[in-house]
Amino acid sequence: MGKSGRTKTRARLYSNFFLLPFLFFSACQKELPEAQTQPRKEDSAQPQAPTGKAKNASPAQARAENTPSSLAQPGQKNKKARQTGATPLTHSCAQLSCEQFPDAHEALDYLAAEDRPIVIGFGEAHGRRGQKSVSTVQRFTKEILPLFQGHASSLTLELLMPPQGGCAPAKERAQATSQKITQGQKETNQNEYVALGHAALDHGITPDILRVSCAELSAATESEAPVASMMALVASQTAKALRLELEKNRTQNSPSSETQASTSLVLAYGGALHNDPQPSPEKRTWSYGPEMKEATGNRFTAIDLLVADQMLDTPTWQAMPWYDSALAARQQFTRGQVALIRLGEKSWTILWL
């Protein structure tokens, strides 16, 4: 198979899990200017647990504001929640263990108490063209993001922005690669990521995107395997952005306050190929997980997000580590609830049933 054939094959195989939204630099940056330049508020360096119920708050927001959560203080078991029904129902799902929860809030609370993370990398299967149901990123925006209000300082999104001026040949090559990868994806995927950035701002969480230099973009697009090189570029730029956010938190938080330092969570959201803490050797450069694991002293947690009704019976999906367990959970658990699948050390999948 020639170079062109290999590129098309890889683009087809990984289009579900790799966004590569290069159009962001021309089509979307005008919609999210504050996300790129907004300075952090002085009080955001010392997040406090919410105390009052916001007017017209959604159920998820109300729960975030009024329910004690181990997201507020990772590692401190939420005994009250456990006493009021959060104890999971444990099952065997294929070769992995899984628990059933009433909603994503309880699942997140459980894994946060187990892992005590300071960086959480969320990974999704991107929406497919023609998909009519609520997408994974929309569910995250409405159900999960509000839980981090007051507890997370930043959210890095898988939106790659090339340099503003010049670099035209590299941009054209990148755009061509992007179109091959995203041709089967939902047309509104990028807009939904932009909406997620706006929602983060509304919750006091600073959104950020991935910025690359002309040299970095040229090197990736001129390689013999541009799709794989772009994946590696996304992973390295995400790791770079997360390291900067970690350093900001360490600088702005009081060194004498362990609680404050531990509750300034740093979040990332993107494709499920990029957050794996233990990727296979051939995919090692595609994931920022190992670097974050080292940078945080093993306080990085990876969470893949799935919607049961959107799973596909294809080789690409079947190759994912959670596939068989997700099928088992879908058969065993109650529709409308949430399954939490433990993939390995500090690696999980949340499945909406």
Greater pLDDT, 236 or 327? 236
Segment 97-113 shows an average pLDDT of 93
Distances, alpha carbon 120 to alpha carbons 42, 80, 142, 170, in Å: 23, 24, 18, 32
Greater pLDDT, 324 or 188? 324
Integer Cα distance of 292 and 297 in angstroms: 8
pTM of the model: 0.77
| pLDDT (tens digit per residue) in 35-67 | 443 433 333 333 333 333 334 444 444 444 433
What local confidence, expressed as pLDDT, does residue 150 receive? 93
Report the length, in residues, of the chain. 353
Strand order in the sheet with 300-307: 89-93, 96-101, 338-344, 347-352, 300-307, 119-124, 265-271, 152-161, 206-211
CB 340 within 8 A of CB 350: yes
Distances, alpha carbon 317 to alpha carbons 45, 140, 264, in Å: 40, 20, 34
Closest CA to 109 of 145, 75, 155: 75
By DSSP bridging, strand 96-101 and strand 338-344 are: antiparallel
Integer Cα distance of 347 and 121 in angstroms: 10
Segment 298-318 shows an average pLDDT of 88
CB 215 within 8 A of CB 163: no
Res. 256 pLDDT band, cuts 50 70 90: low
SS3 at position 99:
strand
Greater pLDDT, 28 or 192? 192
Segment 212-220 shows an average pLDDT of 89
| pLDDT (tens digit per residue) in 135-171 | 899 999 999 999 999 999 999 998 888 877 778 888 8
Q: Is the pLDDT score of 180 beyond 80?
A: no
What local confidence, expressed as pLDDT, does residue 199 receive? 95
| pLDDT (tens digit per residue) in 9-20 | 333 333 333 444
Segment 195-223 shows an average pLDDT of 91
Q: Which token pair is 4?
A: 């062109």
Contacts for 281 with CB less than 8 Å, ≥ 6 apart? none
What local confidence, expressed as pLDDT, does residue 253 receive? 67
Q: Which token pair is 293?
A: 């694991």
